[in-house]
């Protein structure tokens, strides 16, 4: 960790910040394809544009340190009544269905009101087109009572201010868990143009996800153009704070909720354009289960995939069309997971008791190469980044592995639901970087290059999980594979990497 802190200090050196400022001016004049649109950690202490070239101006609020979120400054809204919104604008973006383009909003949330008021529409967040008022947003209920279930839903508006106007409900989960504490939470909202006439939406707080498709609900056309992000307290006056607000643009490969369709399966269901088929290695049992009761520690998003093991190193995986990373391209794999602790499968102490990663899709399992993460379970701490560069090894294990880096004493010693995200970026012709986030928080990163052992992987067509050297059972849900194209494409790799690290504090 000392080395990581030293690296962060060097990246924030004034000379580098000056270079990033010059870069920002060049970016402003460059053509956009897919990119980081806003990345606002409120570091400069103001809610207007500041020294950070990717921050934004906000319509209301004050900036101050928030020890609950624990990442320095945050944007606080002390509201005087219900339905008070806070918005930020960006250059208009019209999504393209040809590559299943999506906008992704994410931020840290802290409800500062205490006690928290009860409201079915307690907190709203989403995306809007300010030129005509069309918008999509998620609505999460709030209550001061722990363990209360209430509405979590998605809505569209044909017109109106952010979060207001005439709302058309797209999906409602009456078994959702209300926001009922003053802790830090991670929120995410995505709008994906899946195909002509279809928009797919996802609203998330922590591991609770509500999903819907808009095919022209309410006799209104789908919304594909956006230039405003924001959030709003609902009918109750409720003070709140946000931090690390980020909007990015991606192209989607898989978004498997295990819920969509008349009869969801673990196959590629014809009435779900976003799911994918799953298979096993070393003969675990996989099945669909309901894991919707977030009040008891379940993931809280309806159906999920259960992998029951009968031994060590048992795996489940899904394959997809290869994503080939060019310089500065990224691929992301995110999913919810939890370990089961039952009489049949007690939580085991294991240094690598849970594994997941991205691989190329070679001619067979043993010929696949890629990168994976091992997590300790039970009393065994540790988290390690592994390169599997051997074509004679095994998927998520076997021979030919090289340890790329370790992160402290992180381990899974409980059975609560978590969100994991692995992001691999091709830095240049010979190097990739690998980042890991748990529950929306940055955990650690490493790099791999041809200088290590003469090889690295930059093409990916498979994702999987493994029980590693344990026989723990696992549940996973909301598996999303996206890739990002940089802007502009000609940007020198080293410069964008340094400035991206310097600006991102998460």
| CATH code, domain carrying 461 | 2.60.120.560
Residues 351 and 435 in one domain: yes
Cα distance from N-terminal residue to C-terminal residue, the chain: 15
Query: What is the total count of domains within the chain?
Result: 2
The DSSP result for 150-203, as a single string, is: EEEEEEEESSSSTT-SSEEEEEEEEEEEPB-SSSEEEEEEEEEEEETTEEEEEE
In this structure, how many other beta carbons lie within 10 angstroms of the beta carbon of residue 270? 9
Q: Name the DSSP class of 395.
A: T
Whether residue 119 contacts residue 144, with contact meaning beta carbons closer than 8 Å, is answered with no
Please report the pLDDT score of residue 487 as a whole number. 64
- Strand 418-428 and strand 330-340: pairing? antiparallel
Please report the pLDDT score of residue 366 as a whole number. 64
Residues 107 and 49 in one domain: yes
Please report the pLDDT score of residue 159 as a whole number. 79
Please report the pLDDT score of residue 364 as a whole number. 59
Whether residue 162 contacts residue 228, with contact meaning beta carbons closer than 8 Å, is answered with yes
In this structure, how many other beta carbons lie within 10 angstroms of the beta carbon of residue 91? 8
Q: Name the DSSP class of 116.
A: P
Helix (H) / strand (E) containing 502:
helix 493-503
Which stretches of the chain drop beneath a pLDDT of 50?
A: 1-34, 343-344, 489-506
Please report the pLDDT score of residue 450 as a whole number. 80
Q: Is residue 11 part of a domain?
A: no
Please report the pLDDT score of residue 185 as a whole number. 96
Residues 184 and 103 in one domain: yes
Written as six digits, the tokens of 39 are 């990345």
Number of separate helices (H) and strands (E) present in the chain: 4, 29
Domain boundary pick from 195, 217, 251? 251
Whether residue 243 contacts residue 69, with contact meaning beta carbons closer than 8 Å, is answered with yes
Domain boundary pick from 198, 226, 251? 251
Domain boundary pick from 200, 226, 251? 251
- Strand 473-484 and strand 370-377: pairing? unpaired
Residues 199 and 262 in one domain: no
DSSP-assigned beta bridge partners for residue 427: none
Whether residue 145 contacts residue 122, with contact meaning beta carbons closer than 8 Å, is answered with no
Q: Is residue 167 part of a domain?
A: yes
Give CA–CA dist 467/313, Å, rounded. Answer: 5
The DSSP result for 282-348, as a single string, is: S--EEEEEE---GGGTS--SSEEEEEE-SSSS-EEEEEEEEEE--TT-EEEEEEEEEEE--SSSPPP
Residues 302 and 386 in one domain: yes
Burial 78-88 (b: 16+ CB within 10 A, else e): ebeebbbbbbb
Helix (H) / strand (E) containing 498:
helix 493-503
Quick: pLDDT tens for 149-183. 566 789 898 777 888 777 888 887 766 667 889 99
Query: What is the domain range of residue 301?
Result: 257-498
DSSP-assigned beta bridge partners for residue 460: 323
Q: Is residue 482 part of a domain?
A: yes
The DSSP result for 448-495, as a single string, is: EEHHHHS----EEEEEEEE-TTS--EEEEEEEEEEEE--SSTTS-HHH
Residues 274 and 172 in one domain: no
Q: Is residue 184 part of a domain?
A: yes
Q: What is the pTM of this model?
A: 0.87
Residues 358 and 431 in one domain: yes
Residues 135 and 221 in one domain: yes
Burial 294-321 (b: 16+ CB within 10 A, else e): bbeebbbbbbbbbbbbeebbbbbbbbee
């Amino acid at each position: 960790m000392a080395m990581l802190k030293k690296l962060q200090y060097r990246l924030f050196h004034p000379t580098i910040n000056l270079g990033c400022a010059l870069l920002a001016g060049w970016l402003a004049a460059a053509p956009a394809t897919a990119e980081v649109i806003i990345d606002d950690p409120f570091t400069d202490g103001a809610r207007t544009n500041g020294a950070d070239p990717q921050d934004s101006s906000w319509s209301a609020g004050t900036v101050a340190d928030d020890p609950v979120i624990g990442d320095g400054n945050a944007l606080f809204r002390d509201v005087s009544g219900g339905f008070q919104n806070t918005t930020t604008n960006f250059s208009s973006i019209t999504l393209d269905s040809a590559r299943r383009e999506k906008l992704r909003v994410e931020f840290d949330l802290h409800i500062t009101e205490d006690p928290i008021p009860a409201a079915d529409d307690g907190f709203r967040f989403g995306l809007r087109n300010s030129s005509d008022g069309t918008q999509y947003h998620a609505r999460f209920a709030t209550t001061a009572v722990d363990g209360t279930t209430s509405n979590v839903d998605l809505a569209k508006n044909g017109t109106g201010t952010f979060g207001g106007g005439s709302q058309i409900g797209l999906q409602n989960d009456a078994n959702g868990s209300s926001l009922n504490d003053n802790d830090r939470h991670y929120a995410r909202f995505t709008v994906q143009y899946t195909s002509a006439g279809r928009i797919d939406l996802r609203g998330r707080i922590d591991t609770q996800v509500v999903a819907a498709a808009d095919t022209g609900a309410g006799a209104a056309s789908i919304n594909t153009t956006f230039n405003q992000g924001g959030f709003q307290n609902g009918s109750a006056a409720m003070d709140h704070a946000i931090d690390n607000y980020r909007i990015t643009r991606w192209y989607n490969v898989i978004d498997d909720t295990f819920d969509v369709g008349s009869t969801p399966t673990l196959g590629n269901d014809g009435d779900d354009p976003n799911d994918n088929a799953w298979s096993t290695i070393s003969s675990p049992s996989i099945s669909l289960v309901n894991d919707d009761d977030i009040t008891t520690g379940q993931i809280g998003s309806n159906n999920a995939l259960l992998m029951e093991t009968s031994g060590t190193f048992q795996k489940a995986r899904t394959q997809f069309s290869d994503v080939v990373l060019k310089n500065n391209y990224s691929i992301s794999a995110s999913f919810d997971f939890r370990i089961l602790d039952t009489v049949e499968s007690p939580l085991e102490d294991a240094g690598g008791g849970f594994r997941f990663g991205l691989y190329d899709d070679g001619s067979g399992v043993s010929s696949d190469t890629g990168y994976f993460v091992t997590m300790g379970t039970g009393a065994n701490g540790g988290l390690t980044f592994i390169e599997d560069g051997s074509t004679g090894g095994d998927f998520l294990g076997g021979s030919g592995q090289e340890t790329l880096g370790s992160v402290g004493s992180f381990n899974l010693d409980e059975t609560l639901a978590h969100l994991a995200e692995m992001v691999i970026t091709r830095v240049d012709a010979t190097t990739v970087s690998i980042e890991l986030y748990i529950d929306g928080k940055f955990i650690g990163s490493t790099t791999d290059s041809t200088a290590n052992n003469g090889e690295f992987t930059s093409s990916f067509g498979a994702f999987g999980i493994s029980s590693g050297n344990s026989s723990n059972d696992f549940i996973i849900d909301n598996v999303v594979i996206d890739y990002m194209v940089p802007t502009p494409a000609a940007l020198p790799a080293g410069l964008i990497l340094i400035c991206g690290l310097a600006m991102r504090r998460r």
